[in-house]
Amino acid sequence: MNIQKYSLAELQRIDSTHFLHPFTDHKDLRAKGARMIVRGEGPFIYDAEGNEILDGMAGLWCLNVGYGREELADAASAQMRELPFYNSFFKCTTPAPVQLSAKLAELAPPNMNQVFYGSSGSEANDTALRLVRHYWALEGKPEKNIVISRNYGYHGSTIAGASLGGMPDMHKQLGGAVPNIVHVMAPYAFDLALPGESDHDFGLRAARAVEDAILAAGADKVAAFIGEPVMGAGGVKIPPASYWPEVQRICEKYDILLMLDEVITGYGRTGEWFAATTFGIKADTITTAKALTSGYQPLSALFVGDRIAETLVEKGGEFYHGYTYAGHPVCCAVAIKNLEIIESEGLVERVRSETGPYLSEQLGKRLGGHPLVGETRSVGLMAAIEIVKDKKTRARFQPGGSAATLVRDHAIAGGLMVRVVDDTIIMAPPLIWTWETIDLACDRLVAALDLAEATLASKR
Ligand code: PLP
């Protein structure tokens, strides 16, 4: 679209007249107008007013290789010219998803050798939910269909995704969630650990909430447990090291399938190709999307572990589920090229051994002592900064979320895009960030915190 034809004000007016944005208070948007992003290059985005903003959110947790990658545009263009689309129903296939599937099986944990494609993380989780229930039905146990999930979890915005997620505001608008999904506490030590409770003990207690839910329902009624290795949209909640091994032990003890949602953590964000490796988790399904194409095309891949895949094949019978665009050749061609870039530039290793540790160190060193900061935490290039009124007691400013929102607004105005969840500032930048980019982000975060502190100090 030639935006030169329109003034920014006109574009904003048309936007609010015709475009219903996701997760938006439309009354509020209409009053203020949307921020118009018009271009991206490397780690930066540019708005219609010409401001250069360092993108601390990688688009929306997805642009792992950064903006302006000609190779990805070329891959899409070549595939569109050759074969823009053909479906993968009715025993048909096309070369791009075949090649991508082989590559994914090579990168994934050893028991993951099959993928089911969709266009979004939400769709992939819908597939995952149907698949685990179908698995137990094929195994002759259709009554084993409860899925245990967690408060603060985010698994997408379709009815299945929102039902799996642990966001009460979303549940309220569902008009009835998908049945047989129960939620347990999150491994969020900063807010939920008891006074004096060690991280280790808190992690075990949070994991045992899963066991309590299994025992309450009866193990013969529980199909699976689902969780993000690190909760993303819920506020980059990183579990204590004791949490995942205990969840794994519990799932194995009661023969409960373990579903991982790696829509955010997949493809390098935590310093391994998959956070399953970072946390040593052996899963039965892994949901991925976003960074699979670095967001250049909409594509999701649900990894289906050998246990489920073998039952599907051996027992046979049609699985009545799938999407028109499953294995879309253009999206898959872009994904292949994107994985090639991540590999050839060593981005995963760089996050693991250089930029991840450096981000963690710099956040602690430069922000940790700030009067507004209760905690900084990160894993790979995924970080959170807790904004508090009182560092000792961890009391928050009121109304909840207002202080972090103030910091965020100053950060964006100062040239750093970050996001806010309640009173937590979160970041998940492209994996191309260097030490210099991290320094620049920290400069801008410190400036934003100082500006916010100037307003908030009087409210203590
Ligand atoms: N799962 C997780 C962990 C996510 O973070 C998201 C989106 O942010 C989703 C699922 C849903 O993905 P999508 O928005 O592509 O449907």
Cβ neighbours of residue 259 closer than 8 Å, sequence gap 6 or more: 128, 132, 147, 224, 225, 226, 227, 283, 284, 285, 286, 287
For the record, the structure tokens of 21 come out as: 């944005």
* List of E strands, 280-406: 285-288, 300-305, 373-378, 383-387
The domain spans of the chain are 35-65+346-458, 71-344
Describe the strand order of the beta sheet including 373-378 as a list of residue ranges.
373-378, 383-387, 424-427, 419-421
> What's the CA gap between 224 and 259, in Å, rounded?
7
Cβ neighbours of residue 266 closer than 8 Å, sequence gap 6 or more: 273, 274, 275, 286, 288, 289, 290, 291, 292
Rounded to a whole number, what is the distance in angstroms from the first to the last CA of the chain? 49
Reported as a single tens digit per residue, the pLDDT across 11-52 is 999 998 999 999 999 988 888 889 999 999 999 999 999 999
**C-alpha radius of gyration, the chain, whole number:** 22
CA atoms within 13 A on the CB side of 382: 28
Ligand 1 proximity of 233 Cβ (cutoff 6 Å): yes
Of all atoms in ligand 1, which is nearest to the CA of residue 262? 3
Cβ neighbours of residue 316 closer than 8 Å, sequence gap 6 or more: none
Q: CA 159 → CA 173, 177, 382, distances in Å?
A: 10, 7, 27
pLDDT at 1: 53
Strands 112-118 and 52-55: unpaired
Q: How many CB atoms lie within 10 A of CB 204?
A: 17
Query: Which residue matches tokens 């949901």?
Result: 287
Which architecture does CATH list for 71-344?
3-Layer(aba) Sandwich (3.40)
Ligand 1 proximity of 288 Cβ (cutoff 6 Å): no
pLDDT at 2: 56
Q: Given ligand 1 and candidates 155, 231, 325, 331, which is best to mutate, with the most ligand atoms within 8 Å of its CB?
A: 155
Question: Separation of 6 CA from ligand 1 center, angstroms?
Answer: 33
Ligand 1 proximity of 261 Cβ (cutoff 6 Å): yes
Q: Is 447 exposed, middle or buried (0-12, 13-18, 19+ CB in 10 A)?
A: middle
Ligand 1 proximity of 265 Cβ (cutoff 6 Å): no
pLDDT at 47: 95
Q: Do domains 35-65+346-458 and 71-344 have the same CATH topology?
A: no
Per-residue tens of pLDDT for the chain, all 460 residues: 555 678 988 999 999 899 999 999 998 888 888 999 999 999 999 999 999 999 999 999 999 999 999 999 999 999 999 999 999 999 999 999 999 999 999 999 999 999 999 999 999 999 999 999 999 999 999 999 999 999 999 999 999 999 999 999 999 999 999 999 999 999 999 999 999 999 999 999 999 999 999 999 999 999 999 999 999 999 999 999 999 999 999 999 999 999 999 999 999 999 999 999 999 999 999 999 999 999 999 999 999 999 999 999 999 899 999 999 999 999 999 999 999 999 999 999 999 999 999 999 999 999 999 999 999 999 999 999 999 999 999 999 999 999 999 999 999 999 999 999 999 999 999 999 999 999 999 999 999 999 999 999 998 8
**60 and 296 in contact (C-beta within 8 Å)?**
no
CATH 3.90.1150.10 fits 35-65+346-458, yes or no: yes
Question: Separation of 155 CA from ligand 1 center, angstroms?
Answer: 5
Ligand 1 proximity of 264 Cβ (cutoff 6 Å): yes
Question: Separation of 438 CA from ligand 1 center, angstroms?
Answer: 25
Ligand 1 proximity of 263 Cβ (cutoff 6 Å): yes
* List of E strands, 153-264: 181-184, 222-227, 257-261
SS3 content of the chain, % helix, strand, coil (to 5): 45, 15, 40
Query: Which residue matches tokens 């799996």?
Result: 164
> What's the CA gap between 441 and 359, in Å, rounded?
10
Give the residue from 317, 300, 343, 345 showing the smallest Cα distance to 118.
300
Rounded to 10 degrees, what is the CA torsion of 347, 361, 185, 272?
20
pLDDT at 82: 98
Question: Separation of 419 CA from ligand 1 center, angstroms?
Answer: 15
Of all atoms in ligand 1, which is nearest to the CA of residue 153? 3
Of all atoms in ligand 1, which is nearest to the CA of residue 300? 15
> What's the CA gap between 165 and 152, in Å, rounded?
7
pTM above 0.85, yes or no: yes
Query: Which residue matches tokens 């993000």?
Result: 228
How many residues does the structure list for the chain? Answer: 460
